[in-house]
Amino acid sequence: MRTGSAWAMGLLLGLAGCAGADAAPMQGGAGAVTAPPGPVMGAGVGGAAGSLNAGAGGVMTGQPPTTPMGMMPVAGGNPMTAGSGGATMMMGGRGGMGGRGGMGGAGMAGAAGMGGMSGCVENLGCQLSPPPSTGDVHQDCVDRINQFRTQCACLTPLARWTEGEACADMMAEYDSTQPTAHAAFRARICMPGGSSQNECPGWRSEAQIVDRCLQSMWNEGPPPMQPCEGDCFQTYGHFINMTSTRSTQVACGFFTTPDGEIWSVQNFSR
């Protein structure tokens, strides 16, 4: 959740859903970017993400933001360390303060499970162009997540969680005012807020979030071990949340700041 030092700093931040955010049982984090390459993302276990430090692991893609982004897990953590991946509410870990142009994730939605789609050939390293826009960014966000789940991981799609979208929009707005990824998820400012969260803070357009931010989260890839906790989850939390077999639905939230920056959260629910 670019030029000179700002770009270098952006690469270091992260929070997932998101790395940090307080909330649900699982979170992860992501970092931010400021140059043409795009934002960075990572997952962090428990804690708030730091706006200036990169978390363990993280993928950089998308459009250059002006400030770092991050993800935060539920259980507190070092506020100056960006986290990638996510942690459950019962898992402590590092988080970080969110910045712009990156991704964040909070809470670990559950272990990724592969298989399940008939005729599907698993390709977890897939690079996909997003589906055509429906004209509804909330639906486009859900469709993009399901594109990765069904075409790359051979998993069943998640339902669009319309009942959770008003809260998701509120969380995106709240985080933009801090500005810290997963701040609202940690504070539980509204319900229903889901059990895990990923976040894309401070992007330049909704289209970039759907295309680049979600692709960057996916690019973290599957963790090298199970269970994936601590530093492991900080690195792979976004991917874990996106491929969780425990989640059944997802609500995407969006908010545009007066400066034109777009903040987006993806709240996963069982």
DSSP assignments along 130-181, one per residue: PPPP-S-HHHHHHHHHHHHHHHTS--PPPEE-GGGHHHHHHHHHHHHHTT-T
pLDDT at 76: 27
pLDDT at 113: 42
Question: Region 63-91: what's the mean pLDDT?
Answer: 33
- When pLDDT is cut at 50, 70 and 90, the band that residue 254 belongs to is very high
DSSP per-residue letters across 16-50: BSSSS-S-SS------B--STT--EE-B-SSSPBP
pTM of the predicted model over 0.75: no
Q: To the nearest whole percent, how much of the chain has pLDDT over 90?
A: 55
DSSP H or E segment with residue 268: strand 262-269
The phi and psi torsions of 238 (rounded to 5 degrees) equal: -65, -45
pLDDT in tens, 197-217: 999 999 999 999 999 999 999
Lowest mean pLDDT among 107-111, 166-170, 201-205, 226-230: 107-111
Res. 236: pLDDT tops 90? yes
* Spatial contact of 20 and 198, defined as CB atoms under 8 Å apart: no
Question: Region 14-40: what's the mean pLDDT?
Answer: 35
Beta pairing class for 249-256 and 159-160:
parallel
* Spatial contact of 269 and 192, defined as CB atoms under 8 Å apart: yes
pLDDT in tens, 137-190: 999 999 999 999 999 999 999 999 999 999 999 999 999 999 999 999 999 999
Question: Region 112-130: what's the mean pLDDT?
Answer: 78
Lowest mean pLDDT among 10-14, 27-31, 120-124: 10-14
